[in-house]
Amino acid sequence: MKIGVAGDHAGVPLNEQVIAELRRLGHEVTDLGTHDASQPDDYPDYAVALAQEIVEGRCERGVLICGSGVGASVAANKVKGIRAGLAHDTYSAHQGVEHDDMNVLCLGARVVGRELALELARTFVGGALHGRRAAPAKAGENREAGKQALGFGHMALEKAKAFTTKDTKGHAGKMHRRIFGFIVGAVLVLAGVAAGQKSAQKLPHVLIRTDKGED
């Protein structure tokens, strides 16, 4: 399996130990750093770097490490297509994959010890999504795309309504304006639906940075 591993300064040297263990098991690992614990950095930078590897298809899953694992999880989940989970017990590490299609395991290097962290990584990469859970696991992404399309449609109908209620001279002019307005509205609604379908199929990787700091 192709797996990406990333961690901020608080994740060193646990990230290196996880990389070594995954490679020992025969996995192809992409090392996204860092390896210098003396230089403070921002965990969201590593979260987006790992997320891009996954949503762009270069990695299948990822392990993301910071001090507590909480900040890494929050940052990673801001990227569409990422389903990151904080797991410090083996049950959650495999359950998250089997039932929730978790594709990023987040660990807190200041919370769990080396041996537990390695066992969590082994459990995570060994898990497989149960077939009947595949659709519900991605429902949130599709629902968000549907909301965007629906919002576009509502806006289009309001525009059409405003357009058709403007004062015009004569019955014929009003009818022509009304017909034209509803044609414009229908086109905009279709455009909104198309945009929603496209966004559901394509997983953009945009991270909204809200803060910086150590976690």
Tell me the one-letter amino acid at 158: E
Residue 41 neighbours by CB under 8 Å, 6+ apart:
8, 9, 34
Distance CA 133, CA 142 (A): 15
CA 152 to chain centre: 22
Identify the helix (H) or strand (E) that includes residue 52: helix 43-55
Q: Which residue has the tokens 């968000």?
A: 144
Catalytic site residue 66?
A: yes
3-state secondary structure 121-184: HHHHHHCCCCHHHHHHHCHHHHHHHHHHHHHHHHHHHHHHHHHHCCCCCCHHHHHHHHHHHHHH
For residue 60, give the 3-state DSSP assignment. Answer: coil
Catalytic site residue 9?
A: no
Task: Give the active site residue among 27, 35, 99, 205.
Answer: 99
Closest Cα to residue 120, out of 21, 9, 3? Answer: 21
Task: Give the active site residue among 9, 59, 66, 94.
Answer: 66
Query: Catalytic amino acids?
Result: 66, 99
